[in-house]
Chains A and B, each alone.
Chain A
């Protein structure tokens, strides 16, 4: 009897195996799939190949509530790209005490939703900025501090400093100054809160909508693109 059973099993058609000739990775790809061409060939399937999605809005009353909640708990990705990061320290101490506004610095992109770019952005840093920004959980907001982040500032003719960040990632609020005082940074955060409450801080959706534009700009500047197309 047992031998018959084994024979039955061997006779059975296993359609999964037949279809596997297609290759597991091929069938789910379409023209929207990211190719991750910067990676070595054997590593391409290890990483995410889906694009960022536009966040669907809830009904207005729920969205207003969510926006209120988002505005009151901004966690900062402490990414000190330049001297503007120094201005974050006084904000944390007793005099300005940013935690009473529901803001706190976080050590990793995964825990933060406010990306504070504090100063000049060199090419090497831009690569890390793109990675960190894409790894942040949505909804996410970007504040660019200092004149260097706005138009290059004193690095206007530097060979290694990009002059506009909003070509590479969407920026919600700029804070001018070289460097801005902590009061100015606070005012900038306040402005960001107003934007979030009004539902106008849509950087994440902008990034998802214009993904090709941003990605083309990033790849134009970062010559050795050796990371996934979307570092989800």
Chain B
């Protein structure tokens, strides 16, 4: 994997190489070069499978981390590519032309984090949150408890601990 990293470094500004074990490594790359790197990995280095694409909200650092997990089925290796984008202006290049199923991930990220992927088909259609009017709910500055209290009503009940309740019911004299 180190060899692969050295080869990639001649073409792309990859940094933060981290080898977790023999067949798993992490690299980071600026978002402008991300599509180029993914295309290169898919077509030349045999990482043909986009296993996962996910997003992390780093509120304190004020950026989103997009993570792409690629798998090389011939060499049984996995490479994780991280890219950091501005939290105030979350726009990334779409990769739906590389992997068809990426459009589902991108649709989900648009809905849950508000990360926009221009050109991704059907990105603005609601996936889970039909008729959602609040901010994207998986952002960390979204207060779920307050939203819940504003919108959904509680059932007022007294709570009792099952153990204490059964003990008082079965053995009241103890």
Contact = CB atoms under 8 A, between A and B. Distances in A.
Interface of A: 122-124, 127, 150-152, 156-164, 167, 221-225
Contacts of B172: none
B130 to A, nearest CB: 5
A159 B151 CA distance: 9
A151 B154 contact: yes
Given A159-B134, A163-B154, A124 B144 contact: no
22 contacts: A123-B130, A124-B128, A150-B155, A151-B157, A152-B154, A156-B148, A157-B148, A158-B144, A159-B142, A160-B128, A160-B137, A163-B152, A163-B155, A164-B154, A164-B155, A167-B153, A221-B151, A223-B130, A223-B132, A224-B130, A224-B131, A225-B131
Nearest to A163: B152
A231 to B, nearest CB: 16
B131 A157 contact: no
B152 A162 contact: yes
Interface of B: 128-134, 137, 142, 144-145, 147-148, 151-155, 157
B130 A157 contact: no
Given A157-B144, A158-B148, A164 B153 contact: yes
A122 B148 CA distance: 12
Nearest to A223: B131
A152 B148 CA distance: 11
A223 B145 CA distance: 19
Nearest to B135: A159
Contacts of B153: 163-164, 167
Nearest to B148: A157
B152 A223 contact: no
B157 to A, nearest CB: 7
Contacts of A157: 144-145, 148
A124 B130 contact: yes
Max count, chain A CB within 10 A of own CB: residue among B130, B153, B154, B157: B130
B134 A222 contact: no
Q: Which 4 A-B pairs have the closest CB atoms?
A: A224-B131, A223-B131, A157-B145, A151-B155
B138 to A, nearest CB: 9
A124 B154 CA distance: 19
A123 B129 contact: yes
Contacts of B128: 122, 124, 160
Contact of B130 (A127, A156, A158, A162): A127
A160 B155 contact: no
Contacts of A127: 130
A39 B56 CA distance: 38
A229 B14 CA distance: 56
